[in-house]
Amino acid sequence: MAKFYFDDDADMTLLDDKTVAIIGYGNQGRSQALNMRDNGINVVVGNIEDVYAKIARDDGWDLQTIEDAAAAADVLMMLTSDDSQPEVYENWVKKSLKKGDVMSFAHGFNIHYKEIVPGPDVDIVMVAPRMLGEGVRATFLEGRGFPSLIAVAQDASGHAMEMCLAISKAIGTTKMGVLDSTFEEEVLIDLFEEHQPSLYGLRAMYTALVEAGCSPEAVMLDLYASGEGVKFAEYGRDLGAFERMKRTSVTAQYGHLVWSKQYFDEEKTLNGMREMLANIKDGSFIAALKAEKAKNAKDIDQTWKENNDHELVKKEHELYQLLGRRPKDAPAPGDD
């Protein structure tokens, strides 16, 4: 079994004489910065002048440029978006790195695919929360923490794992536990999860039910818009993926566990998933992602347009306006 580490395994005092730079005050950056500050860590924040810069100042930070924050740091938390990190590194971070520095990533993407290749005299670690940025902050404040995958890609100092665990404790994740992993494993699992066509499955379920004569509003409420699925996901988190079914009716158990099997081709699904994994491993996906970036996300924009033209999205907008989740005068998706 893979090894877990908890609060007692981590020594946060290793950061006492260090300056930690949060590079990027977005989704993960804000939460990790605030958690570290609450734990008494000496933190500086570097960000470009955008909407997140205002948020950082509102949170009380003396905001610095990324270049200045990187130059001041002993530990650099690389928390800008994956696609921006290589440019951020080349333009503002690389020149400031010195022997003994620690670079920490929340996702193994750029190190694994060698989009960023630091010199041999810095430690390269990963603390990858299995939690959205807002959840990183919320669970810290609740005192229960969140799980993460951790890894060391380069141990120049001989103490990279100890520093990785210190960082983990400082952001609050050893409270629940961190799992020893690798950059490759984290990338494989993360990208694989992001490849799942569940949204299109949801759209197909909507279409089938509406074709069967159900109202769009009733379908959306039952499939996702009521929020019932949030509680079901919590049961999965707390009880287990299948064990949570014991909280449902016998009818639901029979439908989910027995009757649904006739509509599910496990071997075909597995073959598709194996192909997804192969395309991640052999670099096909990152090559396609780079090509997409080179053409200014043309395929993403086109897919957004196609989805915004779908009946589900249009009816959803009307329902959410009726429920007060969107202003009455809010433009429909695709019209703004």
Residues catalogued as catalytic: 107
For residue 90, what are the contacts with CB-CB under 8 A and spacing of at least 6?
none
Residues 6+ apart with CB under 8 A from 205: 219, 223
For residues 199-211, b (16+ Cβ closer than 10 Å) or e, as one string? eeeebeebeebbe
Cα-flanking dihedrals φ and ψ of residue 153, to 5°? Answer: -100, -25
Both tokens of 138, joined, read 């919320």
Smallest CA-to-CA distance from 48 within 73, 20, 74, 29 is with 29
> Are the C-beta atoms of residues 186 and 149 closer than 8 Å to each other?
yes
Residue partners of 336: CB distance under 8 A and separation at least 6 = 330
Could you give the angle at the alpha carbon of 220 between the alpha carbons of 215 and 225, nearest 5°? 145
d(CA 122, CA 97): 8
* C-alpha to C-alpha distance for 62 and 54, rounded to whole angstroms: 11
DSSP 1: -
